[in-house]
Amino acid sequence: MEHHHILRTITKLLIPIILLFALYVQFHGDFGPGGGFQAGVIFGSGIILYGIVFGLDKAMAVIPPSVLRVLAALGVLLYGGVGLTGIFLGGQFLDYSVLAAEPTKGQHLGILLIELGVGTTVAAIMILLFFAFAGFNREERG
Amino acid sequence: MLFSAFSLLSAGLFVALDAVDVAFTEAAVGAGISTILALATLALTGARQEAGTRHKVAPLIVVIITGSVLIYASIDIPPVGDSQAPSHLHVAPRYLNQSMKEVGIPNVVTSVLASYRGYDTLGEVTVILTAGIGVLALLGGRRRKKERTKSGDKEE
């Protein structure tokens, strides 16, 4: 892809917008369409686009697979942790109402946190899958 | 390519049905990620299949049993569009009417997904993580791959 100048330039322009849009979908999921799952996929596809155009090594330098593996597990842990926090604060598992003084505030906080967990896991797994497929392919050929 | 176009079309269909969240997912996952993964899989696989292993009976039996149990269970599902279906009688009205008071979030889909059906979503995220781990175990990290090709060379 070294000589595809148009592709490289457009990609450079697009990637910040894609990542920003993913964050918007992530944190605006309470009010508009979207949520952690969609945001994770969009964020992942931004990084995957970077990997396709600029090469696997550069994408892996941006987010190393070892970091991604930790992030993927952290997302689920954050989700479960929020659920367990509900128990420790006197509620039930995944009951967000006890997280803040007012039940609706607690619900807001809980949903924000678990959506963040969902988004983290989904984005990390999507990028990891791409790395696994693309890396396998290259070594088979090389 | 057809996959991608089909997903994009069905995303448009979901928008027409006012299911914006589903359309969003379909457009992002179906038209985007899964097409890339399908192409990557095509690039990985060769044109020829390896000479067949012997036929296995046990998996067939498991599949048949699971399939017939699923079909048996589907007999109890109320017909499509049945207004008397249990989900339309007590769960759906409560979600739609009480969501603003109980959860306080304008998007009902998010409040159902994240709050009322929190267990399900936790399960889904765990499934994604497990699937990812499974793929990584099959394809392997880069370091392990090198070791495998080395051992493959030795075998040859």
Mind listing the pLDDT tens digit for each residue in A93-126? 877 877 777 888 888 888 888 889 999 999 999 9
How many degrees, rounded to 5, is the angle at CA B142 between CA B136 and CA B148? 90
The range of the structural domain enclosing residue A86 comes to 5-141
What does the DSSP assignment read for B4-27?
A: HHHHHHHHHHHHHTT-HHHHHHII
Q: How far is B125 from chain A (nearest CA, A)?
A: 6
> What is the predicted pLDDT for the residue at B152?
43
* CA neighbours closer than 13 Å in the CB half-sphere of residue B144: 7
**Residue A134, burial from CB neighbour count under 10 angstroms (0-12, 13-18, 19+):** buried
- The answer to whether residues B143 and A63 touch, using CB atoms and an 8 Å cutoff, is no
Residues contacting residue A80 through CB under 8 Å, at least 6 positions apart: B122
Q: In chain B, which residues have their Cβ closer than 8 Å to the Cβ of A134?
A: 40
Q: Is B113 helix (H, G, I), strand (E, B) or coil?
A: helix
Say how many domains are in chain A: 1
Which carries the bigger pLDDT value, residue B119 or residue A137? B119
Residues contacting residue A47 through CB under 8 Å, at least 6 positions apart: A59, A62, A63, A123, A127, A130
Mind listing the pLDDT tens digit for each residue in A27-72? 887 777 778 888 999 999 999 999 989 988 888 998 998 999 999 9
- The answer to whether residues A46 and A91 touch, using CB atoms and an 8 Å cutoff, is no
Which carries the bigger pLDDT value, residue A3 or residue B5? B5
Q: Is A98 helix (H, G, I), strand (E, B) or coil?
A: helix
Indicate the pTM of the whole model: 0.79
Residue A101 CA to residue B141 CA, distance in Å, equals 46
Question: Across the interface, which of B105, B119, B128 has its CB nearest the CB of A94?
Answer: B119
Measuring CA to CA, how many Å separate B60 from each of B50, B54, B68? 20, 13, 12
What's the pLDDT band for A139 if we cut at 50, 70, 90?
low
Structure tokens, A138: 């290259």
How big is chain B by its Cα radius of gyration, in Å? 22
Mind listing the pLDDT tens digit for each residue in B67-83? 999 999 988 888 777 77
Q: Give the single-character DSSP code of B103.
A: T
Predicted interface score ipTM higher than 0.90: no
Whether B49 contacts chain A with CB within 8 A: no
Q: How far is A105 from chain B (nearest CA, A)?
A: 8
Cβ distance B41 to A133 less than 8 Å, yes or no, reads yes
For B82: left if phi > 0, alpha if psi spans -120 to 50, otherwise beta; the answer is beta
pLDDT in single tens digits along all 156 residues of chain B: 788 888 888 888 888 888 888 888 888 888 888 888 888 888 877 777 777 667 788 889 999 999 999 999 988 888 777 777 777 777 777 777 777 777 777 777 787 877 788 888 889 999 999 999 998 888 865 544 444 444 444 333
- The answer to whether residues B22 and B30 touch, using CB atoms and an 8 Å cutoff, is no
Q: How far is A134 from chain B (nearest CA, A)?
A: 7
* CA neighbours closer than 13 Å in the CB half-sphere of residue B125: 33
Of A37, A16, A44, nearest to A130 by C-alpha is A44
